[in-house]
Amino acid sequence: MSTINECCDFADITETTFRNALKRKVFGKQKSGGYDIKTVVRALIKDRQAAKAGHGDHASAVNLSTERAALAKEQREQIAFKNAVSRGEYVLVAGVEEELRKTVSICREIILSSPGKYAHMCEGRSLPEIEQVWASAAREVLTELAYAGDRL
């Protein structure tokens, strides 16, 4: 096992070049006991060859592979989402909001018009009959809500 200085002397590189290669993970950092000169030199040569061939350094190639894998994952998720949308598993919030707005508006009109609509029906009737009239009005609103739920 060799020290950093011995590796630098053998490979004819500066300590800065050595440390930069370490940062780029061209070869692994050793905790103690030094570096294997053959491993270091081979990694430096491979890194330099990759850079000269226009593929960037070895660490860049590793990063590029990681980025490509991340891109492929994103594309796969995007396609899965589009498929789910086409199957109707997802809907646009704006569409749901519009349908709810329409339904609330219709229900509001039914409720506000109910007293005038049903008042004459209640005239001269008994309490149980009046309850039936208002139950009918409530069913009308609930039917509209159920119909709106089917549209969503």
Q: What is the pTM of this model?
A: 0.39
Q: What is the pLDDT of residues 87-136, one digit of tens each?
A: 988 888 888 888 888 888 888 888 888 888 888 888 889 999 999 988 98
Helices (H), ranges, 53-126: 58-86, 93-122
pLDDT tens digits along 5-19: 888 999 899 999 998
pLDDT at 152 over 80: no
The fraction of the chain above a pLDDT of 90, given in percent, is: 16
As a whole number of angstroms, the longest Cα–Cα distance in the chain is: 112
